[in-house]
A and B are shown apart, each in its own frame.
Chain A
Amino acid sequence: MSTTTTPTPKGPLGQPLVRREDRRFITGQGRYTDDIVLPGMTHAAIVRSPHAHARILSIDTTAARQAPGVIAIFTGQDVAADKVGGLPCGWLVKNKDGSNMVEPPHPILVADRARHVGDQVALVVAETRAQARAALSLIAVEYEPLPAVASLAAARAAGAAQVWDQAPGNVCYDWHLGDPTATEQALKAAHQIVEIDVYHNRLIPNAIEPRSAIGQYESGTDSYTLYTSSQNPHLIRLLLGAFVLGLPEHRLRVVAPDVGGGFGSKIFHYAEEALVVWAARKVGRPIKWTAERSESFMSDAHGRDVHMRARLGVDKDGRFLGLHVQSQANLGAYLSTFASSVPTYLSATLMAGCYTTPAIYVEVKSIFTHTVPVDAYRGAGRPEAAYLLERLVDKAANALGMDRLEIRRKNFITQFPYKTPVALEYDSGDYHATLDMALAAVDYAGFPARREASQARGKLRGIGFSTYVEACGIAPSAVAGALGARAGLYESATVRMHPTGSVTVFTGTHSHGQGHETTFAQLVAEQLGVPVDSVEVVHGDTARIPFGMGTYGSRSLAVGGSAIVKATDKIIAKGKKIAAHLLEAAEADIEFKNGAFTVVGTNRQKTIGEVAFTAYVPHNYPIDKVEPGLEESAFYDPKNFTFPAGCHAIEVEIDPETGVVTLENVVAADDVGTIINPLIVDGQMHGGLAQGIGQALFEEAQYDESGQLLTGSYLNYGMPRAADFPFFKVGNHVTACTHNPLGAKGVGEVGAIGVPPAVINAVLDALAPLGVRDISMPATPEKIWRAIQDAKAKAQH
């Protein structure tokens, strides 16, 4: 598949440069949090609740305190006595009646009650990691187990155990969006109503680097440092400093060094980060905590776990008239940092998809259960919308006897900007183009022959599509704020030109696999006309970078890159003043191109390096007009979301004897806006597709009725491995975003958003001849085999 439909670039922008960060990773010189050793450092381990719901009657630490190497033990009582605050939630969602959602406390160590398996009960600090872990078993916690609710259904049942007294029926909020009256009228007028009921399986993010945190207190300066595996160090500093420990920000430094994958799970402020900082001061020595993998499974925020029912009204020609969605989202036992926004503002707002459905109404009830908190995971809310819609659209085509591509094309939005009935305004896109591109890449014309060939071998072959749209770079801040966001959603950058012409860029975004050190260097090299190698990118340390919001929601290029462009624009504007002085010309006559300031219409010029040198050695300098130095900062607050979109096509072959699905063809044709580095874009696509296919075929976090996590290790959680995937075919058709200076949209999540419905649609297409009409994710061999057996049994009666 051709990689892009844009012409080959001349400058650094758009070049497939190899990543500069790779050298340190492939030589073992990366520096992840657990690699850091501080003088006098101690190690922490955490006692976690083995019960989903239990009263803590007593904690006896006597034996543990005498164990070798143990320095201190802290419990929830110590935390409460110190008046340590709880972990805050970053988004206030309102109920239908305008009242606030229920916001229960989220203590960093629980004092009287544990609310999920893995809830943190006590902290042990010891000389070594092994000693800290060994002491855990010597702490005797007396629990009184209480009834627990582990699923949406259990939590909503009559007489269900309550997670929080202040949340009757375990409801956190009951929210809605859209026009109920118009939607009901549209459904009444419809030729046919198509209904669907889907469950978005619960997932465990599983970054391969376990979460890790080191807290340090320096009494000489009365200052704190937290090293943490985070996607957003400034956000952590704000939450930890202002809400949890009450520390002044100028005395609190947060460093997120190399981070081994995040996928959303490292956005959130976790108890362990606060614990190591708080306890480091008590102990008087630095404290490191690194999760064991089993702790990751039961303490990293999980993803999805949403149940949806929907009704789509269509006319006899297949036009969508109205859509009513009712969704229930499992939030777990506590509100994680952005949990409340995921099923609402990140999901319900996408219910138009890429279709012109004129009336939409979405109702969302979010529910507490005795499970690990659920929050944003790659895609965050948007995969749920895409999955619901793309399953529903296939179902509508079946109901009307229409072709599933024709029904999509008939309803595609083609005029931009387009205002949806669910609060968004799409700025750009070309949904027909990405669909055409995918059809060509998957060789749709050749599919019937391939299906016949499979049949001849006793196999079932199917093809499935999804045409999705998503929203990245949540913004503008004022709008998000009006909708309940408790943070700004801008991004920051400082561009520092050095006297000899090299450049350091300080970005508020964070790279944990995305390759910003390369992409942003390419961007700045293009803007300033300097070599890529003379641009250094710094991120991840609040002591070095300007206040920034970090990396999530595919925002880094669209929002962070735009901030960098704004800062380089300021550099160029100031450079023009300096160059005008040096060239004895009017500032208006100076143009900047390819790294040089030129007097228009002449060959008189000064390179940006010469201008930078003059700025720092201002002997011949317009000192009355401009200050010395060449360093500029910018904050960019986007005017709108960006809207990546595309078509994913999946071809599968199923062995009816075993239910095993073989992926024959994985195609993704996407519009992610302007591309800076196609290698990195392809890589982001591949990773997103792998996680999306993981959700569709392999992965599911499961609890038993008592709230025990059944999938607590790699032995029983289905992580995709190298032999599970064919070669992914990815390509791009670029329409530029109209409201940011780069035209960038975002690529981090599109794979995970678009592909799950395409996989399930393909599986159902393969099983259709047997009469199988529905299957839930993950479509495991067992599930498929049972569906085939059930269909056969039905056919015989």
Chain B
Amino acid sequence: MKRWKQSELVPVQVELNGVQRRGLCEPRVLLSDFLRDTLGATGTHVGCETGECGACTIRVDGVAQRSCLTLAVQADGRCIETVEGLAQADGSLCELQHALRERFALQCGFCIPGILMTCAEMLKRRPLPEDEQIPGLLAGHLCRCTGYTDLLAAVRHTVAEVRRREAAHPASAPSVGVHDA
């Protein structure tokens, strides 16, 4: 494994929401700080820096991951998806965002970026999670505002919609997911 000096500035290149981005950072810099401070992508939030609150969750090569528990240098060359990349290029909301909004799943909005990224990954899983599994899948996220009631309703609704569509059109199954509003 390559070793760097503590004060050395290391180039890190990532594909962030489909765009190649490059920045310099010290080897100790967390991926969450690199995204927010170096690349200016402040949609990803930091709530605890110890992996317990889930607000900083992003997807690295498609896998939901805590960006506060990842060093920026570990992400070099990886494909990163954050909350800023969920909506379509024309600004239209993805199905999940739409459901959260319609069902009043958020209040202060701080924890939501991480929750969205965990849910985005959940919707790509096959088989899709059953209703009773969803609270457990979201148990890695802290929300202090909502009591999770409307959030769970919105996520369950979205999962059910995807399941219903796939049952109706099995051929299109691989293409449906977060982006099909």
B residues within 8 A CB of A687? 107, 144-147
Which one of B42, B134, B138 lies within 8 Å of A28 (CB-CB)?
Answer: B42
Which one of B83, B93, B134, B149 lies within 8 Å of A727 (CB-CB)?
Answer: B149
Q: How far is the CB of A698 from chain B (nearest CB, A)?
A: 12
Most chain B Cβ neighbours within 10 Å, of A21, A68, A721: A721
B residues within 8 A CB of A512? 108
B residues within 8 A CB of A720? 147
The stretch from B25-33, B59-67, B159-167, B169-177 touching chain A is: B25-33
A residues within 8 A CB of B111? 208, 260
Judge whether A686 and B109 touch: CB under 8 Å: no
Q: Is A689 an interface residue (CB 8 A)?
A: yes
Q: Is A713 an interface residue (CB 8 A)?
A: yes
A residues within 8 A CB of B109? 21-22, 24-26, 30, 258, 260, 513
Judge whether A722 and B53 touch: CB under 8 Å: no
Task: Give complex CA distance A751, B146 in Å.
Answer: 11
Which one of A513, A725, A751 lies within 8 Å of B148 (CB-CB)?
Answer: A725
Judge whether B135 and A19 touch: CB under 8 Å: no
Q: Is B142 an interface residue (CB 8 A)?
A: yes
A22-B106 CB under 8 A given contacts A209-B47, A722-B139: yes
A residues within 8 A CB of B145? 261, 513, 683, 687
The residue in chain B whose Cβ has the minimal distance to the Cβ of A688 is B147
Judge whether A28 and B101 touch: CB under 8 Å: no
Judge whether B48 and A714 touch: CB under 8 Å: yes
Judge whether A683 and B108 touch: CB under 8 Å: no
Judge whether B42 and A35 touch: CB under 8 Å: yes
Q: Is A796 an interface residue (CB 8 A)?
A: no
A residues within 8 A CB of B33? 129-130
Q: How far is the CB of B17 from chain A (nearest CB, A)?
A: 10
Judge whether A261 and B108 touch: CB under 8 Å: yes
A208-B47 CB under 8 A given contacts A68-B7, A722-B141, A728-B149: yes
Q: Is A207 an interface residue (CB 8 A)?
A: yes
Which one of A21, A23, A263, A682 lies within 8 Å of B144 (CB-CB)?
Answer: A263
A residues within 8 A CB of B10? none
Q: Is B84 an interface residue (CB 8 A)?
A: yes
Q: How many residues of B contact A (CB 8 A)?
A: 59
- Residues of B78-106 at the interface with A, using a CB-CB cut-off of 8 Å, are 82-84, 86-87, 93, 97, 100-102, 104, 106
Most chain A Cβ neighbours within 10 Å, of B26, B46, B147, B150: B147
Judge whether A683 and B150 touch: CB under 8 Å: yes
B residues within 8 A CB of A245? none
A residues within 8 A CB of B97? 26-27
Contact mask A263-277 → B, CB, 8 Å, 1/0?
Answer: 100000000000000
Which one of A35, A129, A208, A680 lies within 8 Å of B142 (CB-CB)?
Answer: A208
A27-B147 CB under 8 A given contacts A19-B104, A208-B111: no
Q: How far is the CB of A594 from chain B (nearest CB, A)?
A: 28
Q: Is B43 an interface residue (CB 8 A)?
A: yes
Task: Give complex CA distance A514, B138 in Å.
Answer: 23
B residues within 8 A CB of A679? 104
- Residues of A1-56 at the interface with B, using a CB-CB cut-off of 8 Å, are 18-19, 21-32, 34-35, 37
The residue in chain B whose Cβ has the minimal distance to the Cβ of A687 is B145
Judge whether A683 and B101 touch: CB under 8 Å: no
Q: Is A719 an interface residue (CB 8 A)?
A: yes
A residues within 8 A CB of B83? 26-28
Count of inter-chain pairs, beta carbons less than 8 A? 180
Q: Is A691 an interface residue (CB 8 A)?
A: yes
A residues within 8 A CB of B43? 27-30
Which one of B53, B84, B102, B110 lies within 8 Å of A32 (CB-CB)?
Answer: B110
Which one of A24, A208, A263, A689 lies within 8 Å of B55 (CB-CB)?
Answer: A208
B residues within 8 A CB of A723? 135-136, 138-139
Q: How far is the CB of A296 from chain B (nearest CB, A)?
A: 9
Contact mask A255-291 → B, CB, 8 Å, 1/0?
Answer: 0001111010000000000000000000000000000
Judge whether A686 and B146 touch: CB under 8 Å: yes
Task: Give complex CA distance A263, B145 in Å.
Answer: 9
Most chain A Cβ neighbours within 10 Å, of B29, B83, B145: B145
Q: Is A482 an interface residue (CB 8 A)?
A: no
Q: Is A690 an interface residue (CB 8 A)?
A: yes
B residues within 8 A CB of A24? 109
Q: How far is the CB of B47 from chain A (nearest CB, A)?
A: 5
Q: Is B116 an interface residue (CB 8 A)?
A: yes
Which one of B41, B52, B100, B153 lies within 8 Å of A22 (CB-CB)?
Answer: B100
Judge whether A26 and B116 touch: CB under 8 Å: yes
Judge whether A714 and B50 touch: CB under 8 Å: yes
Judge whether B141 and A209 touch: CB under 8 Å: no
Task: Give complex CA distance A29, B40 in Å.
Answer: 11
Contact mask B7-48 → A, CB, 8 Å, 1/0?
Answer: 100000000000000000010110001001100111111111
A: residues with CB less than 8 A from B are: 18-19, 21-32, 34-35, 37, 68, 128-130, 205-210, 258-261, 263, 292-293, 512-515, 679-680, 682-683, 686-687, 689-691, 713-715, 719-723, 725, 727-728, 751
List 12 additional contacts besides A686-B149, A690-B146; criterion CB under 8 Å. Answer: A18-B104, A23-B101, A24-B109, A27-B84, A260-B108, A261-B108, A512-B108, A515-B107, A682-B150, A689-B147, A720-B147, A727-B152
Task: List 5 contacting pairs A-B, 8 Å CB cutoff, sorted by A.
Answer: A22-B100, A35-B36, A208-B111, A689-B147, A690-B146
In the A-B complex, the 4 residue pairs with the smallest Cβ-Cβ separation, listed nearest first, are A28-B43, A25-B109, A260-B110, A690-B147
